[in-house]
Amino acid sequence: MNFSTELIFALATILLIPIYYYFTKLRRIEKFFENFPNPPTVPILGNARDFRSGPAFFKSIHEYTRKYGNMVHIKIGPIGHVLLASDYKFLEFLLSHNKLLTKSINLKFLEPWIGTGLVTANGGPKWKTHRRLITPAFHFKILEQFVDIFESAGNILIQKLSKESGEKSVDIYPYVTRCTLDVICETAMGTKVDVQNSETSLYFHSVKEMCRIFLARTTSILKRYDSIFRFTKDYEIQKKSVEVLHGYTKSVINSKRKELEETRKEGNYSDVDDLGRKKKKVFLDLILEATVDGQSLSDEEIREEVDTFMFGGHDTTATATSFILYCLGQNKDVQDKVLEEQEQIFGGEKCPKVTYTNLQEMKYLENVIKEGLRLYSPVPLFGRRIDQDVEYDGKIIPNGVGVIVFSHGIHMNPEYYPNPEKFDPSRFDNVEGKQPFAFIPFSAGPRNCIGQKYAMLEIKCLLSKIVRNFELSPAFPRHEMILAPETVLKSLNGVKIGIKSR
Q: Using CB under 6 A, list all residues that contact ligand HEM.
A: 103, 118-119, 131, 308-309, 312-313, 316-317, 320, 378-379, 382, 441-443, 447, 449-451, 454-455
CB of 180 to ligand HEM, least distance (A): 8
Q: With CA atoms as reference, report the closest residue to 490 among 214, 195, 174.
A: 174
CB nearer to ligand HEM: give 39 or 303. Answer: 303
Long-range contacts of 421-426 (CB under 8 A, 24+ apart): 421/375, 423/327, 423/330, 423/331, 423/334, 423/371, 423/372, 423/375, 424/371, 425/334, 425/364, 425/367, 425/368, 425/370, 425/371, 426/367
Strand 496-501's sheet: what is its strand order?
A: 169-171, 496-501, 470-474
CB nearer to ligand HEM: give 282 or 338. Answer: 282
CB nearer to ligand HEM: give 61 or 450. Answer: 450
CB of 66 to ligand HEM, least distance (A): 22
CB nearer to ligand HEM: give 169 or 321. Answer: 321
How large is the greatest C-alpha to C-alpha distance in the chain, in angstroms? 95
CB of 375 to ligand HEM, least distance (A): 13
Angle at which helices 299-312 and 125-134 pack, to 10 degrees? 70
**Distance between CA 302 and CA 281 in Å, rounded?**
15
CB of 183 to ligand HEM, least distance (A): 9
**Distance between CA 200 and CA 212 in Å, rounded?**
18
CB of 445 to ligand HEM, least distance (A): 9
CB of 394 to ligand HEM, least distance (A): 26
CB of 323 to ligand HEM, least distance (A): 10
Query: Which element (helix H / strand E) includes 5?
Result: helix 3-33
Asked if 427 and 421 count as a contact pair (C-beta separation under 8 A), the reply is no
| CB-based contacts of 120, cutoff 8 Å, min separation 6 | 103, 107, 108, 110, 111, 114, 308
C-alpha separations of 240 from 42, 303, 316, 444 in Å:
40, 17, 24, 36
| Residue whose C-beta lies closest to ligand HEM | 451
CB of 380 to ligand HEM, least distance (A): 9
Beta-bridge partners for 170: 497
CB nearer to ligand HEM: give 46 or 179. Answer: 179
CB nearer to ligand HEM: give 317 or 464. Answer: 317
CB nearer to ligand HEM: give 51 or 283. Answer: 283
**Distance between CA 304 and CA 112 in Å, rounded?**
10
CB of 461 to ligand HEM, least distance (A): 13
Question: Which of helix, strand or coil describes residue 335?
Answer: helix
CB nearer to ligand HEM: give 256 or 314. Answer: 314
CB nearer to ligand HEM: give 451 or 485. Answer: 451
Paired sense of beta strands 402-405 and 80-85, if any = parallel
CB of 230 to ligand HEM, least distance (A): 26
CB of 133 to ligand HEM, least distance (A): 11
**Distance between CA 172 and CA 259 in Å, rounded?**
39
Question: Which of helix, strand or coil describes residue 217?
Answer: helix
What phi and psi values does residue 388 have, to the nearest 5 degrees? -160, 155
Q: With CA atoms as reference, report the closest residue to 402 among 93, 65, 40, 73.
A: 73
CB nearer to ligand HEM: give 245 or 449. Answer: 449
**Distance between CA 341 and CA 361 in Å, rounded?**
9
Paired sense of beta strands 402-405 and 496-501, if any = unpaired
CB nearer to ligand HEM: give 104 or 232. Answer: 104
CA–chain centroid gap for 502, Å, is 33
CB nearer to ligand HEM: give 150 or 498. Answer: 150
CB of 117 to ligand HEM, least distance (A): 7
